[in-house]
Amino acid sequence: MTDQVNNALPDPTQTLIREIARALVDDPDAVEVQALVRDESTVLRLHVSDADIGKVIGKQGRTAHSLRTILSAVSMKYHHRYTLDIVESGEPPARPSLPQE
């Protein structure tokens, strides 16, 4: 299975997660959401500044859990599965790959 980075127009869910994250953090300019399109699902990789990682995870992971709950409901509306990865500092960004022929 090959991941493809969506470099076209942002997926609406990508925008949704990015805008919510931007409103949650202290450094909104550092927020980036990468969409990795797989066969029947899309992984949204949320990057924030190191100082803001706690803001998007929350105490006992409750903010991250809430974001995933919202994304799960939105998945139903789009009839497509979206999952959220919060990328910890030091993890490299996903590299684009060519679609398989």
Q: Which residues bind other proteins (CB under 8 A)?
A: 12-13, 15-16, 19-20, 23-24, 55, 58-60, 62-63, 65-67, 69-70, 73-74, 76-78
Answer positive or negative: Cα dihedral of 62, 83, 36, 24: negative
Residue linked to tokens 């992984």: 43
Toward other proteins, which CB reaches closer, 2 or 66? 66
Toward other proteins, which CB reaches closer, 12 or 96? 12
| Nearest distance from C-beta of residue 92 to other proteins, angstroms | 28
Toward other proteins, which CB reaches closer, 12 or 93? 12
E-assigned strands of the chain? 4-5, 32-37, 41-47, 81-86
